[in-house]
Each structure stands twice: as C-alpha cells, then as structure tokens.
Structure 1
Amino acid sequence: MIGAPAAALAAWALAVAVIGTEPTVRMGGGTQPVGPVPVVVTGLLAGLAGWTLLAVLERFTSRPGRIWTIVALVVLALSLSGPLGGAVGPTATLVLVLLHLIVGAVLVLGLPRR
C-alpha cells in the first residue's frame, strides 16, 4: 500500500523537475498548486480505501481479487475526470493524469496479490 504514494511522489518530483513548476488545479474561484503533501495523502487514502474494500470482499465473496480489480479499474477511470476537468493547462493535465494512472497501476497490480 505504501508503494502507491511513493511511486506518485517520485513521479511528481520528476515532473516538477522537468517542467520547473508544480501542476496547478482549479479550486473554487482560483487555482492551487498540487504539492507533495496532497500527492502522498491522496495516494495513501486511495490505498487505504482499496485495501479496506479488498478485505471486505475477501471475507464475503468467493472471487475477491477479480471483483476488486474490476471495481478498482472503474474507480480509476472515474478518477481521471478530476485532472481532465480541473487541471490548469495541458502540462498539468498530463502530469495529474499520469499520477492517477501510477497510483492505480500500483494498487491494481499489487493489492490483490498480497
């Protein structure tokens, strides 16, 4: 579970180094940069939610890994609406979509095999 926020933070740091600024999102009437803390916290929360769902599925279903993977992929697809609709500029959109995909990939590939 810790791999998702770690991978996202590494990707965020690389992206910030390459583009020279933090990605920015629209918040209310203004904009806000996406720094390392929100990247890590979001990755941790996604991992915790996924782990909790998997634990519940393991207790009550016969195919928890398959069900969890399908749910996780649907949630990942829906989560992309955030950066696609709220990022400021194409570079921020690309960086934030990649962060979502990285967290999703680490969780989808890592959690059901624990």
Structure 2
Amino acid sequence: MRPGARSVAGMNETTTQYSPSNAGENARADASGSRRRRYGRVAILVAAVAGPLVVWAIAVPIARIDLTAGTGPAAPTVTPSSIVVAGLVMGFGAWGVIAVLERFSTRSGRIFAIVGWTVLVLSLLGPVVTGATGVVLAVLLAMHLATGATLIIGLPLAARGAATVYGARLER
C-alpha cells in the first residue's frame, strides 16, 4: 500500500482511500512513480539503440561485412550514427504513441502491442525492398528486430514498474 493510504474496511486489500489530510504524500508518491516510469522508459530507449549497435559491432568490424542498405553506388552505408538516429526517432515515436494511449485508453498495452508489432513487421520489409540479400539482409533484419522488440516489450513494462508484473499486484 502507498504511504499515506489507508485500507477501507470491507474492501479487498488493494483498494485504498485517500483523504485530503494526506494529499501531499499522495502527490509525492505520484510524482515519484512518474519519475520512475520516465527513467525506465529512458533506459528502454538506450537499450533499443544499444541492441542494434551491438549487432553492427559484430557484423562490421569483427565479421567484416559491408553493411549497405540496398544495391548500387547510391546505396547508403549503415553507420553507428545512423543507427542511433533511427533508434531514437523510432523510440521517441513509440514513447509518444504509448503516452497517448495510456491517457485515452484502458487497454493501452494491448493496443500498443498490436500497433508496435504491425509497424515492426512493416519495417522488416524495408531491407527486403531495398534489395539487401544474404548476410547483409540477415544483419539488417536482426537490427530491426532488436530495436522493435525492445521498444514493444519494454515501454509498457516500464510503465508498470514495481507495481505490477504480468497482472500480479505487488506492494511497493
């Protein structure tokens, strides 16, 4: 139970009642939860960028794969800076989507998962459409999966924090 909350007789133990006398404590607890959620989501964004960077570090400097997205002389080479920029753009976009869903929907996690996995599947078509083949295609797909799965699974979990894990309520 949160600090400053008291159980109401006759109700289950997870139901709490807040009184004006402990409003300050409740506001601090809510601010602390918001801060914890924000830090958790920042950590997920860092992980979503770090995952494909690890894949790149194994593929390019170690395995000596020429990682270009497409064919021909105009095909862009995948660099760490392009990975960071793309990961942050997708990460902040996903964060915005889940923030809006949490504000306006009671099923934000489910809707976010449907939208996220759909966008991930569509993004996997990118390397295929650009003409990447073989090992390069496998590396590009692995990078997409690393970023997408981290965001889709991690962002909703960061919102739950220590309060719930897979629907089970835990005491803070």
Same fold (TM over 0.5): yes
| Match for residue 13 of structure 1 among 57, 67, 79 | 57
User: Structure 2, unaligned stretches of length 5 or more?
Assistant: 1-44, 159-172
In structure 1, C-alpha distance between the alignment counterparts of 2:66 and 2:80, rounded to whole Å: 9
Quick check: which one's helix share is greater?
1
Query: Which residue is 1:107 aligned to?
Result: 151
Query: Which residue is 1:49 aligned to?
Result: 93
SS at match of 1:30: coil
Q: Specify the structure having the higher radius of gyration (Cα).
A: 2
1:27 CA displacement: 7.5
Q: How does 1:28-107 map to 2 (within 5 A)?
A: 30-107=74-151
User: Structure 1, unaligned stretches of length 5 or more?
Assistant: none
How many residues of Structure 1 are paired with residues of Structure 2 in the alignment?
114
User: Residue 87 and residue 3 in structure 1: after superposition, are their counterparts in 2 closer, same or farther (change >3 A)?
Assistant: farther
User: Residue 15 and residue 29 in structure 1: after superposition, are their counterparts in 2 closer, same or farther (change >3 A)?
Assistant: closer
SS at match of 1:12: helix
Native 8 Å contact 2:60 2:67 kept in 1: yes
In structure 1, C-alpha distance between the alignment counterparts of 2:56 and 2:70, rounded to whole Å: 18
When structure 1 is superposed on structure 2, of 35-44 and 70-79 the one drifting more is 35-44
Partner letter of residue 70 of structure 1?
I
1:18 CA displacement: 3.9
Higher relative CO (Cα under 8 Å, sequence separation at least 6) belongs to 1
Normalising by the residue count of structure 2, what TM-score does the alignment of the two structures yield?
0.62
Over the matched positions of the two proteins, sequence identity in percent amounts to 40
